[in-house]
């Protein structure tokens, strides 16, 4: 059987339960104190009041009749009864009910008599004074009595009604009980609101922590007035920022690793294709040379020996050109080719190379048009950039058709020159555009290998431009194709 999962109490619920428990305990304690000890507290207060009253009364001059209204007013204000005895124990002042005064001066025939009471308890003090608990003989009224001596041998007895103490104690108890309930309710309300004020930030921090656990760093903890919570909030925000930075760094490294793996796989595939294509390109001239050499050995076509030798020489030259191209491609494409960066005039480099090729495009009936400009000060490896330009020109001469028109132009912007080589003829198919920069790839399969093209020229262009960290591109035009590459532009320094 599955056990039921116990629900965990929330912090706010715990605060509320704690506040309720505190209120209950406090109410019990206050009730015990108020309804069981309050009588004793008020009795003690009454005794203290009686001591103060005795001290005041002992200062009165009883030789003058003016003490009578003074004692009467004192009794009325303190709520006590007073009996004063002379040095011969004659009662000279007493009250009954705090409203009738026996005055021997006004009523000489009336003899004062003391109260007749039963002594319930007696407590002697060190100075000869005492406290007693008395009860009226003919009634149930009880009094706390304080007796002391003053003057030469005069004595004083002060009566404090126990009923007054009890009533005052009860009134104070209920008043204190109500006030304590109000105070405790206010305390509970304050505890509840404090719990809400405390738990709300905790809930916010918990929500942020859950999002961080789910790798969601979009939410930050706000600032709080409670310093401990604010420090916790700052720590979580710091943790979130650190985790986000570490995760982004890890993602970046993973992307770089994936890119390196894809690049390595592509490079491995390129190596295999390169070896296969190179083997195929070398196999053809070797087979031709072998075939004609065997013919000469066995006397086949003995009258064509000179022709056989010419063919062998031609194929050997083509194979030599291929090997040179292969070595050139491997050297440049390795990425370790040392660039010899120089500052030079781009227009002079282009025009001098075009001059050396004049016979080539003249024999093919090609019209050459140039828009190069002058004083084009550039920076790069002029030897490699000349190879780029030569490959573009050779490619344009080989594919020029129709009008057989080639246009060489140079445009410039803020930081580079763009060299463009356009030739009329067939456009490049979209499927071939991304592949023509690969080694041994020939988009035009109709041209024979007699032209000496092996599909390495454009791949060498790509490698050289990547070494220079410059762009290269091809674009189909309305009646032909335009190849381009860029060269870094620099400002000429004047002496």
pLDDT tens sequence across 319-335: 665 566 555 655 555 55
Check: CATH 1.10.101 for 11-170? Answer: no
Nearest to 149 by CA among 55, 224, 223: 55
**CA distances from residue 182 to 13, 26, 98, 188, 214 in whole angstroms, order as listed:** 22, 12, 38, 10, 47
pTM over 0.85: no
Residue 5 has pLDDT above 60, yes or no: no
Contacts of 74 (CB under 8 A, 6+ apart): 53, 56, 57, 80, 82
Between residues 442 and 136, the one the model is more confident about:
136
Residue 103 has pLDDT above 60, yes or no: no
Helix (H, G, I), strand (E, B) or coil at 430: helix
Q: How many CB atoms within 10 Å of residue 427?
A: 14
* Structure confidence at residue 274 (pLDDT): 57
* Structure confidence at residue 131 (pLDDT): 93
What are the tens digits of pLDDT across the range 219-249? 887 877 778 777 888 888 888 888 888 888 8
Nearest to 426 by CA among 440, 441, 444: 444
Question: The CATH number of 338-489 is which of 3.30.230.10, 3.40.50.720, 3.30.565.10, 3.40.50.300?
Answer: 3.30.565.10
Between residues 292 and 103, the one the model is more confident about:
292
Check: CB of residue 465 under 8 Å from CB of residue 480.
no
Residue 107 has pLDDT above 90, yes or no: no
Give the lowest-confidence range in 11-25, 176-190, 341-355, 378-392: 11-25
- The predicted model gives 399-427 an average pLDDT of 91
Could you tell me which residues are beta bridge partners of residue 343?
Answer: 379
* Structure confidence at residue 54 (pLDDT): 86
Radius of gyration of the CA atoms of the chain, in A: 61
- Give the architecture (CATH level 2) of 227-334: Orthogonal Bundle (1.10)
86 vs 112: CA distance, rounded Å: 12
308 vs 316: CA distance, rounded Å: 12
**Token reading at 89:** 């124990």
Most confident of 41-45, 272-276, 291-295: 41-45
Residue 305 has pLDDT above 80, yes or no: no
* Structure confidence at residue 97 (pLDDT): 39
143 vs 123: CA distance, rounded Å: 14
178 vs 185: CA distance, rounded Å: 11
Largest alpha-carbon pair distance within the chain?
193
Between residues 492 and 245, the one the model is more confident about:
245
Q: Give the chain's mean pLDDT.
A: 77
Domain residue spans of the chain: 11-170, 227-334, 338-489
Nearest to 292 by CA among 310, 280, 278: 310
The CA-CA-CA angle for residues 364, 365, 371, to 5°, reads 105
125 vs 222: CA distance, rounded Å: 69
Contacts of 25 (CB under 8 A, 6+ apart): none
């Amino acid at each position: 059987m599955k056990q039921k999962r116990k629900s965990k109490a929330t912090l706010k619920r715990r605060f509320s339960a704690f506040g309720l428990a505190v209120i209950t305990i406090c109410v019990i304690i206050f009730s015990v104190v108020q309804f069981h000890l309050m009588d004793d507290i008020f009795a003690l207060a009454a005794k203290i009041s009686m001591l103060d009253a005795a001290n005041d009364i002992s200062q009165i001059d009883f030789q003058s009749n003016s003490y009578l209204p003074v004692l009467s007013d004192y009794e009325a204000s303190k709520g006590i009864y007073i009996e004063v005895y002379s040095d011969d124990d004659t009662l000279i002042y007493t009250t009954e009910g705090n409203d009738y005064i026996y005055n021997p001066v006004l009523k000489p025939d009336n003899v004062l008599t003391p109260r007749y009471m039963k002594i319930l308890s007696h407590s002697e003090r060190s100075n000869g004074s005492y406290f007693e608990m008395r009860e009226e003989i003919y009634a149930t009224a009880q009094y706390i009595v304080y007796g002391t001596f003053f003057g030469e041998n005069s004595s004083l007895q002060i009566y404090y009604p126990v009923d007054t103490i009890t009533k005052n104690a009860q009134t104070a108890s209920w008043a204190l009980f109500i006030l304590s309930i109000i105070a405790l309710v206010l305390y509970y309300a304050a505890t509840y609101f404090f719990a809400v004020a405390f738990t709300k930030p905790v809930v916010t921090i918990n929500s942020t922590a859950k999002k961080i656990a789910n790798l969601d760093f979009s939410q930050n903890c706000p600032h709080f007035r409670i310093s401990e919570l604010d420090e916790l909030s700052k720590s979580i925000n710091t943790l979130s920022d650190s985790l986000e930075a570490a995760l982004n760094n890890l993602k970046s490294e993973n992307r770089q690793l994936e890119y390196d793996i894809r690049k390595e796989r592509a490079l491995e595939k390129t190596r295999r294709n390169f070896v296969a294509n190179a083997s195929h390109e070398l196999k053809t001239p070797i087979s031709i040379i072998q075939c004609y050499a065997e013919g000469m050995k066995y006397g086949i076509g003995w009258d064509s020996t000179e022709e056989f030798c010419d063919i062998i020489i031609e194929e050997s030259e083509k194979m030599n050109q291929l090997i040179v191209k292969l070595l050139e491609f491997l050297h440049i494409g390795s990425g370790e080719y040392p660039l010899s960066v120089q500052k030079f005039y781009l227009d002079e480099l282009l025009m001098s190379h075009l001059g050396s090729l004049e016979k080539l495009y003249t024999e093919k009936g090609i019209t050459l048009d140039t828009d190069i400009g002058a004083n084009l000060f550039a920076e790069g490896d002029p030897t490699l950039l000349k190879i780029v330009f030569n490959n573009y020109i050779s490619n344009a001469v080989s594919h020029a058709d129709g009008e057989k028109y080639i246009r060489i132009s140079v445009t410039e912007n803020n930081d580079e020159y763009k060299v463009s080589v356009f030739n009329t003829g067939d456009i490049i198919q979209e499927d071939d555009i991304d592949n023509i920069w690969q080694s041994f790839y020939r988009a035009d399969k109709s041209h024979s290998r007699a032209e000496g093209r092996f599909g390495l020229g454009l791949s060498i262009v790509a490698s050289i431009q990547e070494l220079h960290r410059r762009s290269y591109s091809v674009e189909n035009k309305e009646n032909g194709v335009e190849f381009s590459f860029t060269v870094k532009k620099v400002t000429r320094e004047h002496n």
